Each structure stands twice: as C-alpha cells, then as structure tokens.
Amino acid sequence: MLANRSRRAVMMSITGASVLALSLAGCSAGGGEENSDGSVTLSYLVDNGEQTVATNEALIAAFEESNPDITIEIDTRPPGADGDNLIKTKLSTGEMNDLFFYNTGSLLQALNPDETLVNLADESWVGKLDENFTQTVTTDNGLYGAPGGQSMGGVMLYNKDIYEELSLEVPTTWDDFMANNAAILESGLAAPVIQTYADTWSSQLFVLGDFFNVSSVDPDWAEKYTANEAKYVDEPALAGFQNLQAVFDAGYLNVDYASATYDDGIRMISTGEGAHYPMLTFAASAIAANYPDAVDVVGTFPIPSRESDANGLTVWMPSATYIPKTTEGAKLEAAKKFLDFLTTPEACDILSEEIAPTGPFVVEGCTLPDDVPALVSDMQPFFDEGKTGLALEFLSPIKGPALEQITVAVGSGITPAEEGAAQYDEDVKKQAQQLGLEGW
C-alpha cells in the first residue's frame, strides 16, 4: 500500500504509546470556526512533508481567491504509523479537523468510514472520477474522498546512465534483473540495489510492487486473500519476500542499507551512487526538486516477476481529502466547496506546477503537462497497453501493521523469506477480524 506522499502511502509501523503521545502533543486538535460575520474558517490536517504542505498551500490560495468568505488553515501530522494512529485517535475522540488528507484503500477502510466520515456519493463531481479511484474510496454504503494527486506506480527506479555505460537492457524477468545486478556489482560503478531501511516504510516495495505479478498468475488472488483462502507464505505471493532476501544474499545492497533514509535513496539513484531503487513514482517530486538534472536520467520499469512474463505495473491511487462527520453546518458546506474545487482542471494544473507528476490524473478533464520526468513517461506505455493493475490495498481491506518491520528483517538477512511471509500472514489476522470479514 503505499501511502502519504511525502504521502508515504507505504508507511505503516509499530510505535509505542509514548511516541503517539508526542505526536498528539505536536498537533493541534479540533476544527475551524464559524465566524460572526458569516465567514468560515476551516482546519485542514495534512502530513508534514514539505511538498505536501507547499502543494496544499497553493491549492488553498487559489480556492480562497474565488471563495473570500472561506479561510482554510493547515495543520500538520507526522507520516507513517504515527500519523495513522493520530488520525484514528482524532476520529475516535471527535477532535478531527474539519478536513483531512489521507490514504485511500485499506488504510481508509481501517477508519470505519461509514461511521466516521461524511458520505459524498451525491456530490456532482463524483461522476468525473476514474473508476479505479472510485473503488478505493467507496464502501457498500458510500463514497468518502476527493483525489489529491495523480496515480502512481510501484516500480523499480533505475539510473539510465549506468545502464547506458554498461550496455544493459531493461529487464522483464527476475533472472534478467539479477543478471544486470551482477554486471553492475562487477563494474564497481554503483550499488546494484538501493535500500533505505532507516525509513522502514520504504522496505515494502519488493512485496507490494509485486502484486501485478501475483494477480497475473492468479487473477482471483485478492478475493481469495480477503476470504482467508490465499496466503503470502504460498506461491505466487511468496515471491515478493523471496526477492527481498535474494538481493541481500547476493550482496547487491548499498553498504549503509540499514541506516540510509529515503532522501539518501533519492540522492543515490539520481547521482548514480546506486543503480536500482524499488520505490513509488511519487519519487519524481523529490528528484525534480533536489536533483533537477536527473529528471531524464532516472527511469522506471515494473518490478520483475519470478512467476510470469506478463511484465506490468502495480498501480497506486492518490490520497484523498475527507470530511469527518464532526464537521457540520456552514463548515460542512464550505468543506464540500473545497472538495469540489479539488476535482477541477484548475486544481490539477496547480498540482502539476507544484510537484513533478507521478502518473496520470484520475479526474476527467485533467491532463499532464508535456514535459514530464522520464520515470513518468516510462510508465505510459504500460497504461496505453493495459498492462497495469491496482495494488492489493485497493482490492482488499486487509493490510497488517507490521509489514514494514517484517520486510526490513527479511531484507536485512535476519528473517528467512518463508518465515517473514508466515509472520505477515499472522499479522493480518487481527485486522481482518476487526473488520468482521468472513473466514477469519
């Protein structure tokens, strides 16, 4: 699942109560105000990523210019599990901001949206949404979010200059990928595979980005998984954990994989210190902002498959903006106006100006600029040919909270792949039972 952009769509980790307490202390609670002059002030909770904040500030400025009676104030939260826990706490205590920006898919389902969020199914803009996005913010009883960005892929970033220097071909199978890694290691040019386990969320891509390959072997796997009839410890899903172990066992990782951060990974893939980095394509924003000379150097290809020659992209839908049920009256109407604005071409154009595109938009009438980074243009043929599939988190409500700790352990050679997969199968049980799913 990859999750908040600085969204960290992939970010889920186990944290202690003391960390949560600090998180709660660092964020103001509650909503905005209905003012005596008829104007409305809303509070909008977003993750504290620099680009997330800057982008939403630009969106708010444009919205307020057309709606001078509405003021929106940004409040920030930490990313990852700290942010997940904060959002759940705010919703459960009735102290959520008037609006909040958060993941779609399984993380949304964990918020019990039918009970905590405003149903937006009857809003006029819903018909403009891509069907793939719609299903990620929908339950049997309602639709709950407006998109806040483009789609993105869970891919292998690669440095094109290294490939050119070594005359390497883009791999379409796992064996081809490992052969390229061997050639890179022998050349001494770079670390063949970058891992950044200091940011534990980043460890999940070999598993989560492999889901197109899983579903190409078994199209019904997500449905079986939700019904407790398919497991990660079995093929074809085991391959993601095996891939993590394989690159470690072969000695292909950067020497500082345990202490390197996501920012280090972006630097390494951009400057050629590393050749491959499994990551979401939201990395385009960080590359464009910090290493603009690398926007045409860093490309993408799908996570190579052990099980299939289908060679397609696992795709994530953008995060969304939601309204909690505690937002009422004039504040609710103002919040709905803001969501309506977020689904306009004007808002999409602002997104394109503020951050590098990560993939196609999910709103009818919104288009990408012509000069997109290479890692986005490399994705387009897969969209054009229909070789894409949603990540598991958008097809099943189940995602266990300990995945990133398990994948760090497997990717560090601490836990064997089969054992890690079995641990994750056990990890998801509690959430499935909390959701009341049949078969658990």
| 242-251, 304-313, 335-344: least confidently modelled range | 304-313
| 305-314, 331-340, 412-421: least confidently modelled range | 305-314
CATH number for the domain harbouring residue 306 = 3.40.190.10
Give the pLDDT of residue 281: 96
Q: How confident is the model at residue 256 (pLDDT cuts 50, 70, 90)?
A: very high
Token pair belonging to 102: 């958060």
Number of domains forming the structure of the chain: 2
Q: How far apart are CA 331 and CA 337, in angstroms?
A: 10
310 and 385 housed in the same domain: yes
pTM above 0.85, yes or no: no
Range of the domain at 50: 3-149+319-368
pLDDT digits (tens, 9 = 90+) for 379-417: 989 988 889 999 998 999 898 889 999 999 999 999 999
388 and 364 housed in the same domain: no
399 and 433 housed in the same domain: yes
Identify residue 340 by its one-letter amino acid code.
Answer: D
pLDDT digits (tens, 9 = 90+) for 116-152: 999 999 999 999 998 889 989 999 999 999 999 899 9
309 and 185 housed in the same domain: yes
Runs of H (alpha helix) within 329-402: 329-342, 345-354, 374-377, 380-384
What average pLDDT does this structure show over 190-201? 98
Q: How far apart are CA 32 and CA 38, in angstroms?
A: 13
105 and 129 housed in the same domain: yes
Token pair belonging to 291: 């290493």
Q: Give the three-state DSSP class for 196.
A: coil
Give the pLDDT of residue 160: 98
150, 126, 153: which is closest to 350 by C-alpha?
Answer: 150
Query: What is Dmax (Cα atoms) for the chain?
Result: 71
Cβ pair 272, 187 in contact under 8 A: no
DSSP per-residue string spanning 93-121: HT---SEEEE--THHHHTT-HHHHB---T
312 and 353 housed in the same domain: no
Q: Give the three-state DSSP class for 27.
A: coil
342 and 393 housed in the same domain: no
Cβ pair 100, 322 in contact under 8 A: yes
pLDDT at position 28 over 80 = no
| 321-325, 338-342, 429-433: least confidently modelled range | 429-433
Q: How far apart are CA 180 and CA 400, in angstroms?
A: 33
Residue 285's Cβ-side half-sphere holds a number of Cα atoms within 13 Å equal to 25
